[in-house]
Structure 1
Amino acid sequence: MKQDIAFIEREVLKSKPDSTALGFGRYFTDYMFEMDYHADLGWHDPRIVPYQPLTLDPAAMVFHYGQAIFEGLKAYKAPDGSVQLFRPEKNMKRLNGSCDRLCIPQIDEDFLLMALKQLITVEKDWIPEGEGTSLYIRPFIFSTEPYLGVRPAREYKLLIILSPSGAYYGDQLSPVKIHVEEQYVRAVIGGVGHVKTAGNYAASLKAQEAAEANGYAQILWLDAKDNKYVEEVGSMNIFFKINGEVVTPKLNGSILPGVTRDSVIELIRHWELPVREARISIEGIFKAHERGELEEVFGAGTAAVISPVGQLTWNGKTITVNDQKIGQLSKRIYDAITDIQYGKLEDPFGWTVKVAAVEV
């Protein structure tokens, strides 16, 4: 795909928010990237335009049949003032995996990454520089064809929006309380649990709302068939350090293959520490705690990076992990990944991608 990207300049730029009070996903930059698809034209008309509301037909198929997918990644300001991305090619590949599962036309991964770099070049002044801050990047695709009938749409829109953000959980490294969900399920093998589709998150809201009302930050989902095997947290993959070994649920078709998850596994192996992917029962986790072998629990995801877990509640029983303090390994992983992301540490894996200045 070789197309020039049009640039439509806005008349008045927004005032930028206070970088010390960003929160997560509340503010949006001046511009966004937009591109359309039609079955007769393919992906076409790529453009950077002012951030603005969309106009859609009431019969747009996304409203009725839910063809909507997205990704999440970040841009970081390095100490030398340069801007870099963290493993963006993994997000582009995963986006195409989501496209495939939901019958959405594939995108040119190299072209979309180039377009993203151009958008970030335009919006580089929006990248915050405070501790733990970043520019969150949300690419997403949804069906726009006005038609009432159950089939893949023939028209789609792809957008990339940007949001200057702080820590996902506020005090980033303060251990969170997690409720193990027993009534609802998130995904089944053979379904869409392994892709980032909007419906997965809509289906999680009921349980998440109840958990938050009882003081929990997140839900830990169990498998849909037996309701006994650990899958993932609502916004993160999950890791357990048991008797010196790190264990995380094995990808099985209902668990999202997280980019941070993969990075954590690579990093631990690089340090020559024991780590494995396995089928993990929640009962086994609680028994490991009873034996005094459950040393650390932490989540890993783009938004939170690493989030230590201080409490787990399941089947009417609550266990405390590491005296509700962040574990040494969790902290070491967090420091290593964030130092690579922000350009403070040499990247031995080739994970970071510099965003060079691009003419727009």
Structure 2
Amino acid sequence: MNEETFAGIGRPPATRRQAATKLLWIFIWLAFMGAPVSDLLRGEHTGRATALGWLGLVSFVAVYLVLVFRHTNRPLDRTVVHATLAVLVTLATVLALTLGPVWLTLFVYASVSAGATLPLSQARVVIPAITVAMVLIGLTTDNPGDILPAVVIPALLGGFAMAGVRQMVRTTIALREARATVAQLAANEERLRLARDLHDLLGHSLSLITLKSELAGRMLPDQPERAAQQVADIEKVSRQALVDVREAVTGYRRPTLPGELAGARTALAAAGITAEVPSEAPEVPEKQEAALAWSLREAVTNVVRHSSARRCVIALTPRQTLDGPVLELTVEDNGLGGSPSFGNGLTGLSERITEVGGTVDAGSGRGSPGGFTLTVRVPLGSAS
């Protein structure tokens, strides 16, 4: 579905094309106006009654479209909504009483409008009230049994269905706002963490550099040797501060297993591959976690780009071996398979895993004739 054409649920149309699309969907439901239109076209009423009928029908449709379409874009004031619904019910009542029972269809639109614009607590009262008014007017006609069953159920179902859709839209908006709030809070927390880390890393070092610079400046005229010692200390502190900053930046850029699992889930879904991905990752030492995270990223990239697979299973399994506990990462797909050739990707991955004392195995899929399975094991050590 093209976002340029269709506005998302709970979002007002941002372009003319989206507005036209929403208006088209509203116009489609006007097809049920066929009964009143046919009644006017048959010519069974007087000329004056027909003219007033057309005027009333056009007015009803105009008020209905303004209410539903405008309220979809930007909620109207509650008083305006109540007044507009009263106009719709009044027009439906007058037209049904003067022109015949086929005009009871207008009450269905009044019920749908109530469901689309009123809060659920009010809609659950107003929709049955409109239906009851329609039934009472229908009972005054000659053959109420012919028309009432055809309009009572649509009035109730249509009204409450629109109330459900409205509630779903409100929930969607609330979830979208909550997601944006959570993202903003996470970004703020990350900024605070970065600020704290920079202060802890550089605050003491910069204060020491400033102090020793002032001391060196005072010693320069009379004590050049001691001033030189202070300058040497400044150089040492500066180098250590640079090392600390580099280590901190490396830590920020280090991939994590939870982040890579979430990225794998998104990448596989975007590629149309059915995925089984663990929801949580066990606790692993930093170096081993970084190696596993890079392995998972490399494996998922290969599945998406080269495997032509329709299904991929990712597993993280703690195991006990003779050499101690290990965490085993398995990425298995049902794609084209083939013999494992250690190109640049697998070679670099193997070297990275070897550095942390782990192993890499790659081979054909275990559960299907084709497919490919990558198994990476890293020692857990004491962190488990």
Q: TM-score of the superposition, structure 2-length normalised? A: 0.18
Larger radius of gyration: 2
Q: TM-score of the superposition, structure 1-length normalised? A: 0.19
Structure number with the higher strand fraction is 1
Larger RCO (alpha carbons 8 Å, 6+ apart): 1
